[in-house]
Amino acid sequence: MYSNLWIEERYKDFYAMRYKVENVLYSKKTEFQTVDVVETKGHGKMLLNDGLVMVTERDEIAYHDMIAHVPLFVHPNPKNVLVIGGGDGGTAREVLRHSSVEKCTMVEIDGAVCEACMEFIPQTAEVLKGHPKLDLIIGDGVKFVQEFQATNEKFDVIIIDSTDPIGPAAPLFGPEFYTNVNKCLADNGIVVSQGESPWFEAEIQKSMLGVLNDIFKNTFIYNFSNLTYPGGLWSFTFATKGDTHPINDFRKEAVAASGLEFSYYNEGLHQAAFYLPTFMKKNLEGLIQNP
């Protein structure tokens, strides 16, 4: 269907990105946010939460490859993985490609995100329709980790696949949440989180890493690039409960042995992602253990 509609995502009062929309496929206002899926001319189907681009078919591979495979190829034997957020399903999809993973628990606060993506973006969400190793919970991730720490089960890797620190995702950036995350991790556990833009959100990065640095033994940050997040260059934080190091303990041989094919990730990129631009190293001095 032809349309003259364009959508524009604005960042503060000085930056915007526009996309040509050919069809609106889904729109629903929930108790948490407005969820939309549109068909765009240049990026395929696109998921937006409150007007902010979350996922597009064209470039979702960059985000999902890097949030999932980096920690999973560092941890010596990841069997039990927790994903908080990630309602589009792409992170769970990549986690479940690892044969060592015996169980992936995914906690998404807004069921409409899963609903919309299962219907209109199966590229990321097909796994949510039923996978023997996936336990999909529609619920509050903050409450989940608060209550889960009382159990005897521990996670090897926890992935915080959140939106920006506004609305329902705001509590996922605070010290109380990460204290509970730490208690849910196994002794050699790793937590990776969506880490904002080094160009536009340098202060949020400092705040996030300050929180992590107070709670975890080692903290790092690594970068990736995509088409649809403001500034193009984006980050993930990487924190460890033990001495695990994202480069020194990177299991390069496991990448080839896995037999997996990747659209974005590779072993060279894994290591390079932790070597930061100079302005980032200066801004985050004392908060990270990057080389």
User: Which residues are the active-site residues?
Assistant: 161
- The rounded distance, in Å, linking the Cα atoms of 163 and 229 is 11
Token pair in block for residue 21: 């929309």
Which residue in 91, 87, 61 sits closest to 141, CA to CA? 87
- The rounded distance, in Å, linking the Cα atoms of 80 and 259 is 21
Specify whether the backbone of 200 is left (phi greater than 0), alpha (psi in -120 to 50) or beta. alpha
Sequence-ordered list of residues with C-beta below 8 angstroms from that of 52, at least 6 positions apart, any chain: 9, 163, 164
- The rounded distance, in Å, linking the Cα atoms of 8 and 118 is 25
SS3 157: strand
